[in-house]
């Protein structure tokens, strides 16, 4: 089967377009740019995986096995914790990930500690909230840009 083709050998909705996108080498999930069918071979970044189940456009697919309790990484940052074991190629969403985004009661630490001068000084609660909001806005812009890549230009 050629890249960009469904399991039946038919061109995917995007033709030879990339079916999923990965932003960082640290990511263990990729975002579907088009609906992904069971059995479809997906290449995202340096990873190749076979879809274990359908993945709707805009949802995530596991690039490798993620164990219960492990961080789910997207955009090079943790977006939540696997609530159950997730197989490579599985649909990754709220049914198998406890999200930390947008929650004030749960903070998922960065994969790598921030050793910058700014991070080493004490910050107040307002500065902390502002930093979280800025990161979430940046992640949302990145997500919107990924969706725009999937949408064809209108002539």
Instruction: Note the pLDDT tens digit of each residue in 58-71.
Output: 999 999 999 999 99
Considering the chain, what percentage of its residues have pLDDT values greater than 70? 54
Does a structural domain hold residue 47? yes
Q: Which domain holds residue 30?
A: 20-150
Helices (H), the chain: 117-120, 125-150
- Give the closest residue to 90 by CA, choosing from 65, 57, 72: 65
Does a structural domain hold residue 99? yes
Does a structural domain hold residue 80? yes
Does a structural domain hold residue 57? yes
CATH of the domain at 46: 2.30.130.110
* Count of domains forming the chain: 1
Cα 153 to the center of its chain, rounded Å:
24
Instruction: Note the pLDDT tens digit of each residue in 101-139.
Output: 665 555 555 545 544 444 444 555 555 555 555 666 666
Give the whole-angstrom CA distance, residue 27 versus residue 111. 10
What pTM, to 2 d.p., does this model score?
0.58
Does a structural domain hold residue 25? yes
Does a structural domain hold residue 7? no
- Report whether 24 contacts 75 (CB < 8 A): yes
């Amino acid at each position: 089967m050629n890249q960009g083709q469904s399991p039946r050998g038919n061109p995917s909705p995007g033709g030879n377009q990339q079916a999923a996108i990965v932003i960082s080498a640290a990511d263990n999930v990729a975002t579907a740019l088009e609906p992904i069918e069971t059995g479809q071979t997906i290449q995202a970044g340096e990873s190749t995986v076979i879809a274990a189940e359908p993945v709707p456009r805009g949802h995530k697919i596991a690039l490798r096995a993620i164990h219960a309790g492990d961080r789910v990484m997207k955009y090079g940052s943790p977006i939540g914790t696997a609530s159950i074991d997730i197989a490579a190629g599985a649909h990754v969403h709220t049914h198998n990930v406890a999200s930390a985004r947008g929650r004030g009661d749960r903070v998922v630490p960065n994969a790598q500690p921030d050793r910058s001068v700014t991070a080493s000084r004490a910050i107040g609660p307002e500065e902390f909230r502002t930093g979280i909001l800025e990161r979430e806005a940046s992640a949302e812009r990145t997500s919107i840009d990924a969706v725009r890549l999937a949408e064809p230009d209108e002539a």
